[in-house]
Amino acid sequence: MTVFSLPIIRQGKFSLLNSVETVKMAHAFFSGKEFISMYKQKYPGKKIVSVTLPFSEIIVAMDAIPLNLIRNEEYTYKETHILMHRITEITKIFGWGAIDNLLKLAYFTRAGADVVDILCENMIGALNERYGQLPKYAEEHGFPVDSCFGSRMLYATNLRQGKVADASFDVPYRCPFFAKYYDSLTPFMKNNYLLDVPVTTGEAAESFLLADLKEFIAMLERLTGNAFSEVRLAEAIGATNEIKAIYKEILYGICKGDMLPYNPLTFSEVQALMMYGLIDFNSNLKAFRSNFKRLFSEMNGKISRGEGFDAARCPKILYVPMFTGFEQENIKAISRLGGRVILADWEIFGLLEPISTSSDVLRNFALHMLRMNQFLGFNNDTFANTMVRVAKDIGVDGVLFQSTFGCKNLGPVLKIFKEKARQNGIPVVETSFNNVGENLEQNKTRIEAFMEMIRA
Amino acid sequence: MDSILTTPASEPFPYKQYFMEKKEAGRAFVGLFAHELVPVELVRAAGVTVVPLAFVGPEEYSATGGSFMSHSTCTFARNIVGAFVHEDIRFYKQIEYLVRSNYCNGDFCGMEYLSREFQIPTIDLAIPIKTRAYSIAYFTEQVKAFAQRLAEVLGAKISNDEIRRQVTAHNAARAAIGRLLGTGIYGGELLQRYQEATVLEPAELIERLNALYFKNEQFTSGGGKERGKRPGIMLSGDPLFINDFFANWLEEFGASVVYYDTWIGARMGEFLVDEADPDVFHALAKSYLESQGLERFVPAGMDSRLKKATALVKEHNIKGIINHTLKFCDFQAIGRGEFKEQLGNLVPVLDVERDYSQSGMGGLKTRVEAFLELVASGGK
């Protein structure tokens, strides 16, 4: 039997106790391949729809399975895949209580005081490793080398994992290049649907988006054999509204506060899991909602029982944008220098706002998508204002702006954002990379200088 | 103006003088990021002069522009922003309003920065990414809103009758552009006419083309131009903007571009706005969305482009294609490989990616020479 290797145990961490929901979320995210295969056996008629942004309520409403294709990768980094498989086996037979007991046992032997930290770090490390490999894979398969990191990474993921999906739901909001990228998937992605979310609001935009959504729904109806139901969409939206409300509480409550449920590095990695998990609800909305709710209770429980981490003296650094690609080493560098990272992309893009479930639910869903215009919008000025507002609302001490080479849409906001942040007394540092794992020393130097400045 | 319009075909068009005369006539200048999806009929119906931001400068302009946006914004958009900073293109300084659209990230971000840095208000136009019936309905509303905003900011009255007059005039100009291919002109001369067509008002353009070709006895009695034995080359992809040295450079190396399948090129003469449509805004929206922006629209924009290029090769006896990409262009990078592969089955294809620098010209020269040799040998 293969056993995953335990790295050096770090002292003084209390993240182990009562963290079973954290492990559950990580397990669900990293076991995508296993889960999808299981769903396919259990529900052979169900269709899988690839998604890249958290608008998957519509997929769930059509009784299809949303899948962020990156989850279908096999994560071999430090044998993460074996660990995931073991967890699956144990929980199948003994339930999640067994994992909880194992974690507690490990804690009392002192051998596993950092087990959850290590799990999270290894898992995000595993994701990071894939992020490092995928763009190169895309380049090897003819995708333009000077395209943004996100498109290269996603292209490779689609090329490698696309076969598992019966359809694809693409939302290239605001970036015309991304529309072209999505279109380039058509030769190998079945039923590749591009939804055009306009950069304007008002009646014309609303009718336009509704018509487009209806065309997508018609395609899914043909594919799944299921008729669209407003009731099912309302149910799905109701569930995600709950999740989003909790997400906001984590951002504006826990992240803003002084006591964290884990050490800062683990907490940032849990935030990454929450963020990426929201894209496809780890392919199971009900389970994700339950997991999310319990995770929140677990976090609060740890804090109230004094099992958390006193981060009162750790500067809060907003890391944005990160959904287009993030560098784990930057997060580690901030943590090593005594800072704590907050990831709030979905809040900045307006995607955590609730959607009304009364009257015309599809229209409400369309209006929710159009709401991105108030957060990101037609102007970089709007986007910069939103980042400043969220930074102030969370009370951050600084912002790390993550530029990725080749990004032509979000990257150009930086100059405007820096001006506005300066006017609001928010320090900003820019780090950049072309591929994950590159520019590490340069970024580290910048982060060191930045953290020194914040602490001064 | 008459003397300007009869500038000999072989001489550079005096754009500076042209815009100076417009300014002296009291015209307001509206800068238009040089893309093909903004219905210029509406801008001209407001009685203003359109200044296409189609004049490019040396590579340092792009570097300057990059400090505002990012250095991976397309080289053309960066060059335009840089041109404003360097102030060499004087008539840019007299632009009072900018038309900004979401055509591409360069337009979207570049115009915003120009507006911020130089305090030039923008008039926005949102363009969909698909061409479905509902996209046309949406774009119709955007075109209407754009006309309203134009009227508001310019303090002008834009009547439907005036828009219709402009549609008719522009259709006539497009028809004249379409006739250029029949004159037999090619290379730099043909390109100059297309470039001038981005600037001149319809009546001016027609007058100039009549003077140079269609009603020029010296030209017509000579049976037009013969391109000799040089094999015909088609230039596709990103257009060659005004002042770009690349066009002359290609000629010097003997590349006879007989067809420019670009939006500063033959595509300008390939569509007409339906004058019989009772809703002129719908007519504009429909014709622009359905006929222009082939590289931009999804889904399957690449398929349409490949089909069109294949047909053009046969129709115009094209012996080789130069597929021209400006560095970091949103729409050209993806699909370059496929274009070369597919069209390469018909004729030799030279895939060129460049910015406005001269540094890589040595290597490019070698590639062009090899390409021309291949074309001359019939692709063997």
Which of these, A164, A166, A215, lies nearest to A194 by C-alpha position?
A215
Q: How far is A214 from chain B, CA to nearest CA, in Å?
A: 11
What the block records as the tokens of B164 is 């219709």
d(CA A212, CA B135): 9
What mean pLDDT do residues B215-236 have?
Answer: 81
Question: Are B126 and B142 in contact, with CB atoms under 8 Å apart?
Answer: yes
pLDDT of residue B302: 87
Chain B CB within 8 Å of residue A206 CB: no
Q: How far is B210 from chain A, CA to nearest CA, in Å?
A: 39
- Provide the pairing of β-strand B232-237 with B122-125: unpaired
| Structure confidence by residue, pLDDT tens digits, B116-150 | 999 999 999 999 999 999 999 999 999 999 999 99
Which of these, A252, A277, A243, lies nearest to A354 by C-alpha position?
A243
Which CATH class for the B227-376 domain?
alpha beta
pLDDT of residue B228: 61
Which of these, A436, A255, A448, A406, lies nearest to A328 by C-alpha position?
A436
How distant is the alpha carbon of residue A23 from its chain centre? 16
pLDDT of residue A16: 54
What pTM, to 2 d.p., does this model score? 0.94
* Test mutation, A145, A149, A159, A177, chain B, max B CBs within 10 A: A177
What the block records as the tokens of B206 is 């027609």
What the block records as the tokens of B195 is 């470039």
Residues carrying CATH 3.40.50.11900, chain A: 313-343+379-456
What the block records as the tokens of A35 is 């889960």
pLDDT of residue A113: 54
Chain A residue at shortest CA distance from B143: A204
CB contact under 8 A, B328 and A196: no
Q: Is the pLDDT confidence value at B374 over 90?
A: yes
DSSP strands (E only) in B90-227: 95-101, 122-125
Assigned CATH for A313-343+379-456: 3.40.50.11900
Q: How far is B303 from chain A, CA to nearest CA, in Å?
A: 11
Which of these, A430, A372, A428, A389, lies nearest to A175 by C-alpha position?
A372
DSSP state of A71: G
d(CA B183, CA B166): 26
Using a CB-CB cut-off of 8 Å, the residues of chain B touching A412 are 68-70, 73, 105, 109, 113
Pick the CATH number of B2-156 from 3.40.50.11890, 2.40.50.100, 3.90.1170.50, 3.20.20.70: 3.40.50.11890
Using a CB-CB cut-off of 8 Å, the residues of chain B touching A147 are 333-334
CB contact under 8 A, A380 and B109: yes
Using a CB-CB cut-off of 8 Å, the residues of chain B touching A378 are 102, 108, 124, 126
In this prediction, residue B226 has a pLDDT band, given cuts at 50, 70 and 90, of low
DSSP state of A341: E
This model of the complex carries an ipTM of 0.94
* Test mutation, B109, B111, B119, B325, chain A, max A CBs within 10 A: B109
d(CA B335, CA A54): 28
Burial (CB count <10 Å: 0-12, 13-18, 19+), residue A190: middle
| Structure confidence by residue, pLDDT tens digits, B69-81 | 888 899 999 999 9
Chain B residue at shortest CA distance from A414: B69
d(CA B257, CA B190): 9
* Test mutation, A155, A191, A208, A404, chain B, max B CBs within 10 A: A208
Question: Are A319 and A341 in contact, with CB atoms under 8 Å apart?
Answer: yes
Give the Å distances, CA to CA, from A377 to A119, A150, A344, A350, A436.
Answer: 38, 20, 17, 11, 28
CB contact under 8 A, A211 and B72: no
What single letter denotes the amino acid at residue A160? R
Q: What is the DSSP string of A191-217?
A: TEEE----S--SHHHHHHHHHHHHHHH
CB contact under 8 A, A148 and B124: no
| Structure confidence by residue, pLDDT tens digits, B257-285 | 999 999 999 999 999 999 999 999 999 99
CB contact under 8 A, A408 and B105: yes
pLDDT of residue A112: 53
Q: How far is A204 from chain B, CA to nearest CA, in Å?
A: 6
Q: How far is A87 from chain B, CA to nearest CA, in Å?
A: 42
d(CA B150, CA B142): 12
Chain B CB within 8 Å of residue A403 CB: yes
Listed by number, the residues of chain B in 140-159 with a beta carbon closer than 8 Å to a beta carbon of chain A are 141-142, 145
In tens digits, chain A (456 residues) has pLDDT values of 333 333 333 434 445 567 889 989 999 999 999 999 999 999 999 999 999 999 999 999 999 999 999 999 998 888 888 888 888 999 989 998 888 888 777 766 655 555 666 777 787 888 888 888 999 999 999 999 989 999 999 999 999 999 999 999 999 999 999 999 999 999 999 999 999 999 999 999 999 999 999 999 999 999 999 999 999 999 999 999 999 999 999 999 999 999 999 899 989 989 999 999 999 999 999 999 999 999 999 999 999 988 889 999 999 999 999 888 889 999 999 999 999 999 999 999 999 999 999 999 999 999 999 999 999 999 999 999 999 999 999 999 999 999 988 899 999 999 999 999 999 999 999 999 888 888 899 999 999 999 999 988
CB contact under 8 A, B128 and A208: yes
pLDDT of residue B278: 97
d(CA B309, CA A405): 32
Q: In A170-284, which ranges are continuous DSSP H helix?
A: 176-183, 203-224, 230-249, 264-280
CB contact under 8 A, A176 and B132: no
Using a CB-CB cut-off of 8 Å, the residues of chain A touching B333 are 144, 146-147
pLDDT of residue A18: 74
How many C-beta atoms lie closer than 10 Å to residue B200's C-beta? 22
d(CA A310, CA A259): 5
Chain B CB within 8 Å of residue A135 CB: no
* Test mutation, B122, B238, B306, B330, chain A, max A CBs within 10 A: B330
- Could you tell me if residue A195 is left (phi over 0), alpha (psi between -120 and 50 degrees) or otherwise beta? beta
Listed by number, the residues of chain B in 267-296 with a beta carbon closer than 8 Å to a beta carbon of chain A are 296
Question: Are B237 and B260 in contact, with CB atoms under 8 Å apart?
Answer: no
CB contact under 8 A, A412 and B298: no
Using a CB-CB cut-off of 8 Å, the residues of chain B touching A182 are 298
Same fold, B2-156 and B227-376: yes
| Structure confidence by residue, pLDDT tens digits, B321-364 | 999 999 999 899 888 999 999 999 999 999 999 999 888 888 88
What the block records as the tokens of A232 is 């099912």
Question: Are B57 and B23 in contact, with CB atoms under 8 Å apart?
Answer: no
CB contact under 8 A, A412 and B70: yes
Listed by number, the residues of chain B in 32-91 with a beta carbon closer than 8 Å to a beta carbon of chain A are 68-70, 72-74
What is the domain partition of chain B in residue ranges? 2-156, 227-376
Chain A residue at shortest CA distance from B330: A177
d(CA B162, CA B41): 9
Which of these, B289, B287, B26, B48, lies nearest to B162 by C-alpha position?
B48
